[in-house]
Amino acid sequence: MMSNQKLIPCEHCPWKTCNPGKRTPWGFYTKRNLTRLWNQIRKASGREVGQSCHPTDPKHEDHIAAGAKEGSVPQECAGSIILVFREINKLGNSAAGDVIGKEHLAAYAANEKKFGLTKRGILHWVIGRWQLGGTPFGSGPKLPDVDIDDPTVSKPEYLNNER
């Protein structure tokens, strides 16, 4: 991928609005699995790079069944990055243009309850990947460019607070 190109969600992306609930032999789009994936993302689960795009990651049998080729180089899941940027925007909106402080983190946490980024997730995604990503001080590569307004990507309703 060239650096000026945006990463685009694939057809198998668990975050494409059309996929949750679809049946697969591996239960990939079940509520349980999507909740597990979102919790790994929002908590940053000690991972250097976020969720892999399954059709590009041949490390698992279900990924190979989804189209991953032996020897492929895994790329990051565009859908998950779109969701992360949307959470970063929510955090920024709670600061209303100010430098983000404790009161803004508290407001974000109160609004997002158990579905938003955790403190560890905020440090990883905002500081480690967005601001310092790709440097010796970051926690992984710089976040790839994505279309954060992609209308085909969303968290399932059960992973949102607006219920």
Location of structure tokens 């909106």: 93
Are the C-beta atoms of residues 121 and 115 closer than 8 Å to each other? no
Radius of gyration of the chain (CA): 16
pLDDT at 64 over 90: no
| pLDDT band of 46, cuts 50, 70, 90 | low
Residues 98, 113: Cα–Cα separation, whole Å: 22
Continuous H helices in the chain: 31-43, 61-65, 78-95, 102-112, 119-122
pLDDT of 21? 94
Are the C-beta atoms of residues 34 and 20 closer than 8 Å to each other? yes
Sequence spans of domains, the chain: 31-153
Between residues 1 and 102, which one has the greater pLDDT?
A: 102
Between residues 55 and 38, which one has the greater pLDDT?
A: 38
Mean pLDDT across the chain: 84
Q: Tell me what the mean pLDDT of segment 124-137 comes to.
A: 90
pLDDT of 1? 44
pLDDT of 41? 93
For residue 49, what are the CA distances in angstroms to 96, 117, 149? 29, 16, 22
Give percent of the chain above pLDDT 90. 39
Q: Tell me what the mean pLDDT of segment 61-65 comes to.
A: 77
pLDDT of 100? 65
pLDDT of 32? 94
pLDDT of 163? 44
**pTM across the whole model:** 0.85
Q: Which of 141, 138, 26, 125 is nearest to 73 (CA)?
A: 141
Give the model confidence (pLDDT) of 140-158 as tens digits. 889 999 999 999 999 999 9
| pLDDT band of 103, cuts 50, 70, 90 | confident
pLDDT of 2? 47
Phi-psi region of 67 (alpha: psi -120 to 50; beta: other; left: phi over 0): left
